Amino acid sequence: MCTKEESSFNEVHWVGHLNPDSDSIMCVIGAAFLYGGIPTRTGPMNKESEFILEHFGVKPPLLVKDYQDKRVALVDFNQRTQLQSTINMEQIAALIDHQWKTGTKKHRFR
Ligand SMILES: [Mn+2]
């Protein structure tokens, strides 16, 4: 077991799916808090997410347009079509919270 400061996730960019909803926004913040790393988002936040973050006084995740050369960890993610276009499979260090739908191969990540 290592401390948060020693975590291998310190340089990871946490990211959810395209057109981030509140799941994606809150998950990247929570994951970065728990494991270290940088909470990011792929686009503008919706009104619900803005309200939640403002209400709790939490800073929005960093808006990132280009993830090339970054280690990435995915949250709130289950469809490859929802992967930001500059992220390659080799960059993905972790995946949590994927909301798997049993029996549907159509939505398989790999
Ligand atoms: Mn979502």
Six token digits for residue 110: 């790999």
Per residue in 16-45, pLDDT (tens digit) is 999 999 999 999 999 999 999 999 999 999
CATH of the domain at 17: 3.90.1640.10
pLDDT for the residue 12: 96
Spacing, Cα 1 to ligand 1 middle (Å): 30
Residue 110 lies in a domain: no
pLDDT for the residue 9: 82
Indicate the number of domains in the chain: 1
C-alpha–C-alpha distance, residues 4 and 20, integer Å: 26
Residue 1 lies in a domain: no
Q: Are 84 and 18 in contact (CB under 8 A)?
A: yes
More confident residue, 110 or 18: 18
Residue 3 lies in a domain: no
Residue 107 lies in a domain: no
Spacing, Cα 69 to ligand 1 middle (Å): 25
Residue 32 lies in a domain: yes
Spacing, Cα 33 to ligand 1 middle (Å): 19
Spacing, Cα 44 to ligand 1 middle (Å): 14
pTM attached to this predicted model: 0.84
Q: Residue 5 above 90 pLDDT?
A: no
Per residue in 65-107, pLDDT (tens digit) is 999 999 999 999 888 899 999 999 999 999 987 666 665 555 4
Spacing, Cα 8 to ligand 1 middle (Å): 25
Range of the domain at 81: 8-102
Residue 69 lies in a domain: yes
